[in-house]
Every structure is written in structure tokens, then in C-alpha cells.
């Protein structure tokens, strides 16, 4: 009697084995992905996320879509957006005390070196390296490298992701007046002075306007003149505010404000400057593209048909339009870091950036995939001018030449304050430019010594 194993059982075992194996592999795959998918729904339900940024077109867009995020994750988001200076002061204080009031916040460009350098921000590498926390299709490499520079430390550790890349250009709200004077958009500082002299007061329009953030507006003129803010940032932070170039460019810029700007412009906030421009009370302005594009797009703009854009004018040393980037990051003292990362991922996802750009007309986007989108390029063609080309040119040039390093050092707020005060003293004739800049230099040196910075003798 031979006992043979029942064939059916053999077949059945093989099938069962295959079924079990396939099931195990399937379950394994599901298990690998599950925490990211299922975890989100459970992990964040009921979490209240607190965050802040200064008020901006992009934060307005985010607020519009915030409900979608809250419904998707079960979180509640308190998103504060005070004015720029108020936000910066509050954030600086909050971070310096390792506070936990905010789970995410904006890393303001001029504070980026200070906040990241002092260890007040959380590294995002942990989240970026965890595929459950950050799926590959979020594509961190899609962000414009120039915009990410201020949010990354020297070792390459990422502390934030950019939502705005600001690129300074020039805009004339009433180009018709310039044409009427037989001139064109100024390409040099000399031409800018000549155009201002020719069109000032014509049709009741002042020739030039800017706001009171002189440490943003004036340095491009200083660099164009051949001067520097610091001797060699970030290695040598000795200020160079009393150089011949600094004195001459400060006098030149102050004169634009003194002679050709509306009465009271010296106290203008960014909003006030933009309003004066948009309502056609002032003609030329050098400012970030996000503030100038609304001349052609804002509903209340009275200059849509007469607006014209151009690259920043150049001096003898060249053209150095300012470029900045602001990004979302997570404070070191934040309580809900994982939830905060969910918010940042959502706020800066390809989909959200694309919606902001294409549906809401947001311009200063930082994702290459959106900038290359034909629809975006079409939307950025304003009044027949390709604004996207100007935008990219500024970002590329500032990245290539690296001249914005002066603005990323930890002590820039202190030195920027001295520039602001000096320009105000020159504009109001309290001091000649030479004295004002010498005083700015002395005060900057004193402040940098307080910060423990080594200064050249």
C-alpha cells in the first residue's frame, strides 16, 4: 500500500501559499503607506494649529483656501497676519524666547540669518527624509534655488520653503507722460534723474514714489554706484556706509524722495506707496514685482492702460535689483511640529501654488513647475509686457552674482535701521549726506560690537 499525498491538497497548499504570500505582500505595502494616509486623519483631528505671517497677497489666498485644509485634516488653523513691521517684531521676540505660541511662521528674509543662525528654527530635514511625512511627489527640488538660499544654512540644512520670491523692478504708472516728454523708460540712474526732472508735476503727478523701507530700496542704488553695505559679507561684516559711493548714492536716492515724491511720502508704508502709485498720484517706483504688478491687474488701479515695466536702472557698476524670499518654517519651540509640517506641505504644494498663480493671479511664485507653466507665462504678460521674463532675470542675476548676501546676515536689522535713519536725515535736510552716512557708520559699528561681531580697525 502506497500512500501518496493527495494531489488536491498539494495544489491547495501551493495556492494557499501563493494567496498568503500575495496577501502578505499587499498588506505589507498597505502597512507601509497606511500610517501616512490613515495617520493623517487620526493624528491631526482636533489639533489647533497656530501660525503667523505678515499680511501679503499670498496669505490672503491661503486664507481663502484654509477651510479645505481644515476639512481634509480635521485641524483648526489660527493664522495671524499682522502688518510687516508688527509681525517681524512679534516673531523676533517670540523666537528669541523659544516661545510656543506659534507652530509655523514666516521666515522673513532680513531675519533669516539671525533666526536660523541662532538656532531658533527647526530643521525640516527630518520631515523631508521621511517618506511618510513627505511623499516624493511633493518635490522639494521644484523650488527655485535662489529663493531657497536664505532658508538654508551653510551645511545645506533646510529650515523653510519659500512662498515668495520678491524681485525688484521699475514701473511707471503713467508712461504716457514719459512719452509725452519725448523720453523712454530710464535704463540708467542718470536717465532716471532726467526723466524725473522732465515729468515731475505734469498732470498733477509726482515723478517718483517709494515707501519708508529705505534699507530695502536704497542698497540697489548703492551697489549700482559701486558701493557696499558690508565689506565682504558674511565673512567680514564691517559696515561700509561712509564710503564715497555710499554718500553719493544716498544723496541721489534721497533727492528722488525729497524733490520728486508726494508730500509726506517719507512716512509712507508699503501700502501707502502702492496706493499712491496705483491711483496715479506718482509715476515711477522701484519695488518688488508683487507690489508693482497690481498696477495692471488690481480692480482699483486707475493706471491699467498707461503702466509700463522695466528692469532696475543701472549705475556705473551695473544693475543690482533687490531680490528676497520669504518662506514658511517651524519655530524650535513649536508644540505641533508634525502638524505644522502638514500645513506647510499643503500651503506650498504644487497644487496650491498653481491655484494661487492661475486662479488668483499671484505672481511671485517659487515653484519652477508653475513658473514654466504656459498659462502662468500668459497671465504674466501684462499690458503687452512679459513680466515673468523680468522676474526670472532678477532672480537669476541675483543668484548668479550673489550680491544679496548683505541682506541675509544676522545683524542686518541693526544696520538696516541705521540706513533708514540716515536716508531720512538726508531727505529732510537735517544733515548733508556725508555727515548722515558717517553717523550711520559710527552707529552701525557700535551696534555690531554689541553683537560681538569683529570689525576691521
Q: Quote the least distance from Cβ 268 to another protein, whole Å.
A: 9
Contacts of 401 (CB under 8 A, 6+ apart): 320
CB-nearer residue toward another protein: 287 or 420: 420
Residue 264 touching another protein (CB under 8 A): yes
Instruction: Identify the CA nearest to 228 among candidates 215, 239, 236.
Output: 239
Site string for another protein, 272-311 (x = CB under 8 A): x--xx----x------------------------------
CB-nearer residue toward another protein: 77 or 237: 237
Longest CA–CA separation in the chain, Å: 120
| Under 8 Å between Cβ of 456 and 238 | yes
| Under 8 Å between Cβ of 111 and 413 | yes
CB-nearer residue toward another protein: 70 or 447: 447
Total count of residues recorded for the chain: 457
Q: Quote the least distance from Cβ 238 to another protein, whole Å.
A: 18
Binding segment (CB under 8 A) for another protein, from list 35-43, 374-382, 389-397, 447-455: 447-455
Binding segment (CB under 8 A) for another protein, from list 194-202, 263-271, 325-333, 344-352: 263-271
The residue assigned the cell 513627505 is: 134
Quick one: which of 262, 315, 327, 331 contacts another protein (CB under 8 A)?
A: 262
What secondary structure letter does DSSP report for 100?
-
Q: What are phi and psi of 48, to 5 degrees?
A: -105, 120
CB-nearer residue toward another protein: 365 or 423: 423
Distance (Å, whole) CA 198 – CA 180:
10
Dig out the grid coordinates for 213 from the structure: 523701507
Q: Which parts of 382-421 interact with another protein (CB under 8 A)?
A: 410, 413-414, 417, 420-421
Q: Quote the least distance from Cβ 115 to another protein, whole Å.
A: 9
Dig out the grid coordinates for 365 from the structure: 511664485
Q: Quote the least distance from Cβ 105 to another protein, whole Å.
A: 16
Q: Which parts of 65-94 interact with another protein (CB under 8 A)?
A: 89, 92-93
Binding segment (CB under 8 A) for another protein, from list 284-292, 315-323, 331-339, 423-431: 423-431
Helix (H) or strand (E) holding 76: strand 76-80
Contacts of 320 (CB under 8 A, 6+ apart): 219, 220, 223, 224, 312, 398, 401, 403
Other CB atoms within 10 A of residue 85 CB: 13
Site size toward another protein, by CB under 8 A: 41
| Under 8 Å between Cβ of 35 and 7 | no
CB-nearer residue toward another protein: 75 or 422: 422
**Site residues (vs another protein, CB under 8 A):** 89, 92-93, 96-97, 114, 117-118, 212, 262-267, 272, 275-276, 281, 410, 413-414, 417, 420-422, 424-425, 427-431, 439, 442-443, 446-447, 450-452
Amino acid at each position: 500500500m502506497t500512500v501518496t499525498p493527495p494531489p488536491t491538497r498539494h495544489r491547495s497548499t501551493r495556492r494557499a501559499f501563493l494567496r498568503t504570500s500575495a496577501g502578505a505582500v499587499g498588506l505589507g505595502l498597505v502597512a507601509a503607506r497606511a500610517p501616512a494616509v490613515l495617520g493623517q486623519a487620526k493624528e491631526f483631528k482636533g489639533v489647533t494649529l497656530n501660525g503667523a505671517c505678515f499680511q501679503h497677497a499670498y496669505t490672503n489666498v491661503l486664507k481663502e483656501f484654509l477651510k479645505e485644509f481644515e476639512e481634509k485634516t480635521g485641524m483648526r488653523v489660527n493664522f495671524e497676519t499682522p502688518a510687516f513691521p508688527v509681525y517681524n517684531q512679534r516673531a523676533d521676540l517670540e523666537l528669541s524666547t523659544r516661545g510656543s505660541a506659534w507652530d509655523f511662521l514666516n521666515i522673513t528674509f532680513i531675519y533669516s540669518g539671525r533666526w536660523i543662525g541662532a538656532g531658533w528654527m527647526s530643521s525640516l530635514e527630518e520631515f523631508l527624509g521621511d517618506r511618510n511625512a513627505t511623499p516624493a511627489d511633493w518635490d522639494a527640488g521644484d523650488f527655485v534655488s535662489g529663493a531657497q538660499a536664505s532658508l538654508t544654512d551653510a551645511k545645506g540644512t533646510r529650515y523653510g520653503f519659500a512662498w515668495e520670491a520678491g524681485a525688484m523692478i521699475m514701473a511707471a504708472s503713467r508712461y504716457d507722460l514719459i512719452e509725452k516728454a519725448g523720453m523712454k523708460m530710464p535704463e540708467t540712474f542718470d536717465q532716471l534723474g532726467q526723466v524725473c526732472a522732465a515729468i515731475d508735476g505734469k498732470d498733477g503727478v509726482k515723478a517718483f514714489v517709494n515707501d519708508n523701507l529705505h534699507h530695502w530700496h536704497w542698497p540697489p542704488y548703492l551697489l549700482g554706484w559701486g558701493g557696499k553695505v558690508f565689506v565682504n559679507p558674511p565673512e567680514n561684516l564691517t559696515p561700509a556706509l561712509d564710503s564715497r559711493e555710499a554718500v553719493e548714492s544716498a544723496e541721489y536716492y534721497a533727492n528722488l524722495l525729497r524733490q520728486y515724491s508726494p508730500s509726506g511720502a517719507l512716512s509712507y508704508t508699503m501700502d501707502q506707496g502702492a496706493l499712491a502709485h496705483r491711483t496715479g498720484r506718482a509715476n515711477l517706483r522701484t519695488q518688488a514685482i508683487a507690489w508693482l504688478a497690481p498696477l495692471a491687474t488690481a480692480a482699483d488701479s486707475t493706471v491699467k492702460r498707461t503702466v509700463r515695466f522695466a528692469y532696475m536702472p543701472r549705475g556705473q557698476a551695473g544693475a543690482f535689483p533687490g531680490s528676497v524670499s520669504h518662506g514658511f518654517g517651524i519655530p524650535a519651540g513649536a508644540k505641533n511640529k508634525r502638524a505644522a509640517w502638514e500645513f506647510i506641505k499643503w500651503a506650498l504644494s504644487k497644487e496650491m501654488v498653481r491655484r494661487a498663480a492661475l486662479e488668483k493671479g499671484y505672481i511671485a511664485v517659487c515653484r519652477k513647475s508653475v513658473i514654466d507653466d504656459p498659462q502662468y507665462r500668459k497671465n504674466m504678460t501684462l499690458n503687452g509686457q512679459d513680466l515673468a521674463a523680468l522676474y526670472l532675470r532678477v532672480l537669476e542675476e541675483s543668484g548668479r552674482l550673489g550680491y544679496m548676501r548683505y541682506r541675509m546676515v544676522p545683524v542686518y536689522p541693526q544696520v538696516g535701521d541705521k540706513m533708514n535713519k540716515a536716508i531720512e536725515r538726508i531727505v529732510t535736510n537735517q544733515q548733508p549726506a556725508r555727515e548722515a552716512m558717517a553717523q550711520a557708520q559710527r552707529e552701525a559699528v557700535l551696534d555690531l560690537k554689541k553683537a560681538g561681531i569683529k570689525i576691521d580697525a
